[in-house]
Amino acid sequence: MSSLDEDPKKVQEERRDAQPVERPSAASELSAAPKDERPARSPENESGDEGQKRINVTFTPQQYRILRDLATLQGINVSDVLRQAISITKLVVDANQKGKILIEQNGELQRLKIL
């Protein structure tokens, strides 16, 4: 009997009964390799500075509303608002270590500080 003549119900039953093939992940293959065959770790890998990092942050409803509103006003996403906040914070902290940042508001100069 050719594969074209096989009973479709029988073929479906055989497929259902077939055991899935387990393929080891790259991580398990790496850990199973002898120590001298594993790739060497570079100082960059140990410090965690390679590539982008993902974090999970919890915000109050008010903080998240502010983030979302800032993103909408600028036409960017919430992640970009957070990236901007990091850059601005670093700028202000660095400037305050070397001097000060002054902002003119309503004709008065005020010093910008991050506490």
pLDDT at 29 over 80: no
Q: pLDDT band for position 56 (50/70/90)? A: very high
Most confident of 6-15, 70-79, 99-108: 70-79
pLDDT of residue 100: 82
pLDDT surpassing 80 at residue 71:
yes
Task: Please calculate the CA angle 70-75-79 and round it to the nearest 5 degrees.
Answer: 60
Q: Which amino acid is at 104?
A: E
pTM: 0.51
Residue 39, helix vs strand vs coil? coil
Residue 35 has pLDDT above 60, yes or no: no
Contacts of 68 (CB under 8 A, 6+ apart): 78
> At what angle are helices 78-98 and 61-74 packed, to 10 degrees?
90
Q: What mean pLDDT comes out for the span 82-103?
A: 89
Once rounded to an integer, what is the mean pLDDT over residues 61-74?
A: 97
pLDDT at 99: 83
